[in-house]
Chain A
Amino acid sequence: MELHILINTVYLLSAVTFVLGLKLMNDPATARQGNVISAIGTGAAVIVTLMDARVERYEYILGGLLLGAAAGLYAVSRSPLPGLPRLTGLLNGFGGLAAWLVAWAEFYAHPAGQGVSGGIVLWLTAVLGCLAFAGSLTAWTRTQEGNISANPAGYPGQHHVARAVLLAVLLTGILFARDTVAPGAYRYFALFSLLSLLLGALLVLPVSSAGMPAAMCALNAYAGFAACAAGFVFQNTLLVAAGALTGAGGIRLMLVMCKTNGCNFADVLTGCFRPPAGGK
């Protein structure tokens, strides 16, 4: 079918622009071109997705595009320059929130016919999205002026709580994916969503100020992986590719930042699962 070919061809080209864009952004001299190129790739992908056969109603889409663009551009244009990294972190959280909303929407509209694999990818999208959102929100709160995360908010017993929450997220995910049509499935969805929000906050709370930039890279990565999971939900090649690309890039960037800043990347990623320094 011709439309299908057009869409996937544009997706392929978009993927190329993302890779090129990222490469160009390695070097400050070419970084601006990189930014423009990936923006073009994103724009083309959006336009072509609007033509997808599955899209039959446009009011919500157009409303969302206009509102989102207006809000995003306004907030960023009005922000003082030093506040931009922090604001970008918050916006990244919005991307995670969007992923969770997408998972919810898809589950709400099509609870049947997902199968275990469908259930798993819905769960992944929701969990990763919530992790990214809550983590970004926590990071945003902790990096406020006058509230700089000089004191990592670790607390005694944090590792017990965090491990328990992680286990619960996994268990409810299994129960959910086993049977997405069961009347209880909705409760599992709500449960692992809330638990993932909690976990996202817990992940970021113990991070020191030296580790914050690295943590924000990790949060970027989580949002990327959430998009990747959404790609499996909709069987969308570009989402899978671009999501994995930026997810892995974010992790790598986090590792590099930890080397530069001297923070321990294990602490940034999993610090909440260990007893706080000097504590029990």
Chain B
Amino acid sequence: MESTILLFLLFILVLSLFLGFEIIRATPSPLHTLFVSGSNAVSGITVLAAILAAGLAEGGNNDFAALLGGFAVAFATANATGGWLAAKRMLDMFRDNKETMKP
């Protein structure tokens, strides 16, 4: 990997680490929801790598690699869509509970 690109990516990495750390406030109770939703965003992202891995042109080693990539796409997509729906369901429940608690 070219060193300029590597350095740029490292720059992004370090800043994102700080950002990710700061964004999570120290709030206790809706934590669980947060956690579920947090995993959702992560999940989504690996699918990009999987797409790039599965999209290789035909020929030689690429065929098996693209097949592996296809499986990776499947797993990452299950992760993303499932995580999103789980977060949605839990947040819906939370909202319903709040409404039934209104006087």
Contact = CB atoms under 8 A, between A and B. Distances in A.
B55 A52 contact: yes
Interface of A: 18-19, 21-23, 25-28, 31-32, 34-35, 38-39, 41-42, 45-46, 49-50, 52, 54-61, 63-65, 67-69, 71-73, 75-77, 79, 81, 84-85, 87-89, 91-92, 94-95, 97-99, 101-102, 104-106, 108-109, 115, 117-118, 121, 213, 216-217, 220, 223-224, 226-228, 230-253, 256-257, 259-260
A57 B13 CA distance: 30
Contacts of A67: 74, 77-78
B23 interface: yes
Contact of A21 (B35, B41, B62, B80): B41
A260 B26 CA distance: 10
A66 to B, nearest CB: 8
A84 B47 contact: no
Interface of B: 1, 5-6, 8-9, 12-14, 16-21, 23-28, 30-58, 61-62, 64-95, 98
Nearest to B55: A55
Contacts of A115: 1
A228 B48 CA distance: 11
Contact of B86 (A32, A42, A76, A247): A76
A242 B23 CA distance: 13
Given A64-B76, A76-B85, 8 more contacts: A45-B48, A58-B55, A98-B47, A101-B68, A228-B13, A242-B45, A246-B45, A249-B24
Contact of B43 (A26, A28, A35, A92): A92
A244 B17 contact: yes
Main secondary structure of the interface of A (DSSP, over half): helix
A54 B57 CA distance: 8
Nearest to A34: B37
Given A102-B69, A231-B9, A240-B16, A73 B82 contact: yes
A46 B48 contact: yes
Contacts of B30: 27-28, 31
Contact of A109 (B9, B26, B61): B61
Contacts of A64: 50, 54, 69-74, 76-77
Contacts of B12: 237, 240-241, 244
Contacts of B54: 57, 60-61, 64, 105
B87 to A, nearest CB: 5
B9 A237 contact: yes
Contacts of A109: 53, 56, 61-62, 65-66
A81 B90 contact: yes
Contacts of A232: 1, 6, 9
B73 A253 contact: no
Contact of B52 (A54, A121, A247): A54
B48 A38 contact: no
Most buried by A among B13, B26, B76, B85: B76
A239 B42 contact: no
Nearest to B24: A252
B65 to A, nearest CB: 4
B74 A28 contact: no
Nearest to A115: B1
B35 A72 contact: no
28 contacts: A34-B37, A35-B37, A35-B84, A38-B44, A56-B58, A57-B55, A58-B55, A61-B55, A61-B69, A64-B50, A64-B54, A67-B74, A87-B86, A95-B42, A99-B72, A104-B65, A105-B53, A105-B56, A106-B53, A220-B39, A230-B46, A240-B13, A242-B44, A242-B45, A245-B20, A245-B41, A246-B45, A252-B24
